[in-house]
């Protein structure tokens, strides 16, 4: 069984993952001036997800016994976060071409992690499950937003 410390570490990584995604979308604003609003909106949504995972973390602190780790290992999240941070660096140094940045983001939103983010934790706590489902639904919507931008850009 996972200790409370392990569960909290996992929650922190999910928070960081969402914050890093928000940062990536903010950095995209300069690369795609015609889609500033869309990227700002995506960034705000990811910030919202970070706050949701902070709520999940608070629930774990309150009743750790009601939670167990879901489908993902901390290492998976660490690799993911490191990858996004590297891409943010490349974006800021203007080393990333716009089509590549978009497809990279599509791949990220399509990844196993984002695709099954509702399985971040196992819990019988209905309120938390509802929160995780909210994040899951938003991730699906992000893919649609990105796909629309990608199609538009390729015209």
Interface ranges with Fe ion (CB under 5 A): 18, 46, 49
In order of 5, 26, 58, 154, the CA distances from 55 in angstroms are 16, 23, 5, 39
Q: C-beta of 105: minimal distance to Fe ion in Å?
A: 12
Q: Which is nearer to Fe ion, 49 or 87 (CB)?
A: 49
For 100-133, b/e burial (b = at least 16 CB within 10 A) is ebbebbbebbeeebbeebbebbebebeebeebbe
Q: Which is nearer to Fe ion, 15 or 46 (CB)?
A: 46
Give CB contacts under 8 A, 24+ apart, made by 46-49: 46/18, 46/19, 46/21, 46/22, 47/18, 47/19, 47/22, 48/138, 49/18, 49/21, 49/135, 49/138
Which residue in the shown chain puts its C-beta closest to Fe ion? 49
Q: C-beta of 148: minimal distance to Fe ion in Å?
A: 17
Q: C-beta of 42: minimal distance to Fe ion in Å?
A: 9
Q: C-beta of 135: minimal distance to Fe ion in Å?
A: 6
Q: Which is nearer to Fe ion, 82 or 140 (CB)?
A: 140
Asked if residues 13 and 75 have their Cβ atoms less than 8 Å apart, the reply is no
Q: C-beta of 18: minimal distance to Fe ion in Å?
A: 5
Q: Which is nearer to Fe ion, 9 or 47 (CB)?
A: 47
Q: Which is nearer to Fe ion, 123 or 139 (CB)?
A: 139
């Amino acid at each position: 069984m996972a200790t409370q410390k392990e569960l909290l570490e996992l929650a922190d990584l999910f928070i960081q993952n969402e914050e890093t995604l928000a940062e990536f979308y903010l950095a995209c604003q300069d690369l795609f001036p015609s889609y500033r609003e869309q990227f700002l909106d995506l960034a705000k949504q990811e910030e919202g997800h970070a706050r949701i995972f902070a709520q999940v973390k608070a629930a774990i602190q309150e009743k750790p016994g009601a939670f167990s780790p879901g489908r993902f290992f901390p290492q998976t999240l660490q690799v993911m976060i490191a990858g996004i941070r590297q891409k943010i660096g490349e974006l800021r140094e203007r080393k990333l071409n716009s089509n590549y940045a978009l497809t990279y983001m599509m791949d990220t939103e399509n990844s196993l992690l984002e695709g099954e983010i509702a399985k971040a934790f196992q819990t019988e706590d209905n309120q938390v499950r509802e929160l995780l489902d909210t994040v899951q639904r938003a991730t699906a919507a992000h893919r649609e937003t990105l796909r629309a931008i990608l199609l538009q850009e390729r015209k």
